Amino acid sequence: MEIKVIAGDITKVKADAIIVNFFTGRRKLDGDIAALDKALDGAISQLVRQGEIKGKLNEVTVVHSLGKLPADRVVVAGLGKKAELSPNKVRGAVAETCRALRPKGVTSVATIAQGAGINGLSPEAAAQAVAEGVLLGLYSFRKHITSQKEKPGEIKQLTIVGSDRVKPRLEKGARKGEILAEAANLARDMVNEPANYMTPTRLAETATKLARNHGLEISVLEREQMAELGMGAMLGVAQGSRQPPKFIVLHYKGSRTKEPGVALIGKGITFDSGGISIKPAEKMEDMKGDMAGGAAVMAAITAIARLKPKINVVAIIPATENLPDGNALKPGDILTAMGGKTIEIISTDAEGRLVLADALDYAKKLGVKYIVDAATLTGACIIALGKVCTGAFTNRQALVDKVIAAGNEAGELIWQMPMYDEYKEQNKSDVADIKNVGGRGAGAITAAQFLAEFAGDTPWVHLDIAGTSLSDKEKAHLVKGATGVPARTLVNLVLALAKR
Ligand code: BES
Ligand code: MN
Ligand code: ZN
């Protein structure tokens, strides 16, 4: 997909479709839509009068121009109430509109930066939302489908039209939107890939390629090196699989100082069968996506490398399968994590917190200032919050406030969960320092409290993305399958941290 920004008059633009926006409750057309309406001999204003165009959010009306304009169609996209306009609404409406146009054979679209100037929406933010909407909304994963039939059409070109004056700002926003959406789509590709393709080795190879292309430093620790570092928790999970585990570390150096900066840790379980505490068969295929946190941090650091903020970032992805081999970890076993803490295994299906324990110890040893981890950690988080928002857990309110703000900016919703000390009791073990399951109540919180023991005093936020990493429907900028959450949030966060 090519995204370009031009200065000019929308009524002169040649494209298969021109997209314009319309708000609810508006009767009179003004500006660009009025100019288009005039060229179309009042077709748009007639549809408004007749009530076909209401401006409801995500409403799409196609008007054919029948040679009256250089463009073949004018598409009126509803944006809802003007007073409630946000980048997220623009992102979603553009996505829905482009998806509606795709099967009609439309290959090129043009639009004015929708909503710029309204509700304080800057031209940058508007162009960014348009670029993200197109790229995220049109994403598909067809790599393993050999039939060409039923292939949806393809929109190959998007032109954003503005005035000479705002063109540089539109360009800046469009480029940022492109980088963010490409990061999310990269994460989606990794998550959608089945586990027989996306093994820990393949995940490490992907990281190596990305590092080469974006000038990142990389080290991939093998089993022997993990053993030398004492990563008993990670290796405990890995011992049930034939696939060699990989501990992937990517460094972005944006600051001239030596300080290690921010660690982004992502759970990298390339398939979670539950291990000996095996999962029920229903929906187990979704567990190919148990590396969504790892994919998101990997994608985020490549976007960061493209945007070049002045801050150092390290992405850490402990990658392994969780399978029930003859050598597998067993309930009752006791493991020793890198920092020396002992862990009693109650369920081998609570493997995420085990690999994250060693990753947190590793990040602390690097001396990072902040840690944010993303993990498809608990089914309990889906019970608590559904698929609407990610759960956030922290030992530092000021940091989680920034993470939530970064999520709002991305349209990736986040809700903070309580971390009262009282919950810690549930993780107490009779035979080790801690146990890996804290009983039935508050499962997402006790999992986070387990991680908190390993985060120690380092300001840390844990994002439980079990509910938000996969979508079961096409909606706004989301399509069925992987969402790429929270890649864009993490990029926004790092940009915000670099600004201070
Ligand atoms: N990967 C799962 C969590 C999960 C479940 C993610 C459903 C997405 C959809 C995690 O490793 C897990 O199995 N957690 C257990 C923990 C339990 C044994 C304490 C769970 O949530 O059931
Ligand atoms: Mn599990
Ligand atoms: Zn898991």
| pLDDT above 90: residue 199 | yes
CA-nearest of 66, 378, 230, 217 to 390 is 378
Nearest atom in ligand 1 to the alpha carbon of residue 290 is 1
- Residue 252 CA to ligand 2 center (angstroms) comes to 30
Same domain, yes or no, for 217 and 112?
Answer: no
Instruction: Indicate which CATH number applies to the domain containing 353.
Output: 3.40.630.10
The count of residues in the chain is: 500
Q: Are 164 and 7 in contact (CB under 8 A)?
A: yes
- Is 173 inside any structural domain? no
pLDDT digits (tens, 9 = 90+) for 50-62: 999 999 999 999 9
The residues, ordered by sequence, that sit 6+ positions from 181 with a Cβ below 8 Å of its Cβ are 131, 132, 134, 135, 136, 488
The catalytic position among 26, 253, 279, 306 is: 279
Percent of the chain with pLDDT strictly greater than 70: 100
- Is 175 inside any structural domain? no
- Is 43 inside any structural domain? yes
First and final C-alpha spacing in the chain: 34
| pLDDT above 90: residue 116 | no
Same domain, yes or no, for 413 and 275?
Answer: yes
Position 151 scores a pLDDT of 76
DSSP 346-415: S-TT--HHHHHHHHHHHHHHHT-SEEEEEE---HHHHHHHTTT-EEEEES-HHHHHHHHHHHHHHT--EE
Same domain, yes or no, for 125 and 209?
Answer: no
pLDDT digits (tens, 9 = 90+) for 327-367: 999 999 999 999 999 999 999 999 999 999 999 999 999 99
Q: What are the residues facing 265 on neighbouring strands?
A: 316, 373
The residues, ordered by sequence, that sit 6+ positions from 146 with a Cβ below 8 Å of its Cβ are none
What's the count of helices (H) and strands (E) in the chain, helices before strands?
14, 20
SS3 content of the chain, % helix, strand, coil (to 5): 40, 20, 40
- Is 11 inside any structural domain? yes
Q: Which residues line ligand 1 (CB under 6 A)?
A: 272, 286, 290, 347, 349-352, 376-380, 437, 443, 466
pLDDT digits (tens, 9 = 90+) for 289-323: 999 999 999 999 999 999 999 999 999 999 999 99
- Is 177 inside any structural domain? no
Position 114 scores a pLDDT of 81
Residue to mutate (ligand 1; options 323, 349, 463, 471; most atoms within 8 A of CB): 349
What is the residue with the minimal CA distance to atom 16 of ligand 1?
A: 350
Beta strands in 449-499 (DSSP E): 460-464, 470-471, 481-482
The catalytic position among 353, 364, 402, 435 is: 353
Nearest atom in ligand 1 to the alpha carbon of residue 469 is 8
Whether the model pTM is above 0.95? yes
- Is 170 inside any structural domain? no
| pLDDT above 80: residue 474 | yes
Same domain, yes or no, for 157 and 212?
Answer: no
For all residues of the chain together, what is the average pLDDT? Answer: 97
The edge-to-edge listing of strands for the beta sheet with 334-336 is 334-336, 342-344, 434-435
- Is 131 inside any structural domain? yes
Boundary-marking domain end, from 108, 133, 163: 163
Position 147 scores a pLDDT of 87
Choice among 69-73, 107-111, 144-148, 290-294 with the minimum mean pLDDT: 144-148
Whether the ω angle into residue 123 lies within 30 degrees of 0, i.e. cis, is no
pLDDT digits (tens, 9 = 90+) for 173-183: 999 999 999 99
- Residue 302 CA to ligand 1 center (angstroms) comes to 28
Same domain, yes or no, for 359 and 239?
Answer: yes
Same domain, yes or no, for 74 and 31?
Answer: yes
Position 273 scores a pLDDT of 99
The reply to whether 279 belongs to the active site is: yes
Position 368 scores a pLDDT of 98
| pLDDT above 80: residue 285 | yes
| pLDDT above 90: residue 27 | no
Please give the DSSP secondary-structure letter assigned to residue 14: -
- Residue 191 CA to ligand 2 center (angstroms) comes to 16
Residue 140's SS3 state is coil
Domain that holds residue 420: 184-499
Position 113 scores a pLDDT of 87
Instruction: Please report which confidence band the pLDDT of residue 36 belongs to, taking 50, 70 and 90 as the band edges.
Output: very high
Find the helix or strand (DSSP H, E) in which 237 lies: helix 232-238
User: How many domains, in total, are found in the chain?
Assistant: 2
Q: Are 190 and 319 in contact (CB under 8 A)?
A: no
- Residue 401 CA to ligand 2 center (angstroms) comes to 29
- Is 172 inside any structural domain? no
pLDDT digits (tens, 9 = 90+) for 359-392: 999 999 999 999 999 999 999 999 999 999 999 9
| pLDDT above 90: residue 71 | yes
Residue 6's SS3 state is strand
Rounded to an integer, the average pLDDT of 183-194 is 99
Same domain, yes or no, for 342 and 194?
Answer: yes
CA-nearest of 41, 29, 40, 49 to 73 is 40
Instruction: Indicate which CATH number applies to the domain containing 18.
Output: 3.40.220.10
Residue 15's SS3 state is coil
Same domain, yes or no, for 88 and 209?
Answer: no
Distance set, CA 429 to CA 43, 176, 289 (Å): 72, 48, 30
| pLDDT above 80: residue 9 | yes
Nearest atom in ligand 1 to the alpha carbon of residue 437 is 19
Backbone angles phi, psi at 237, to 5 degrees: -65, -45
The whole-angstrom separation of Cα 281 and Cα 222 is 31
Distance set, CA 115 to CA 27, 159, 334, 406 (Å): 17, 16, 58, 21
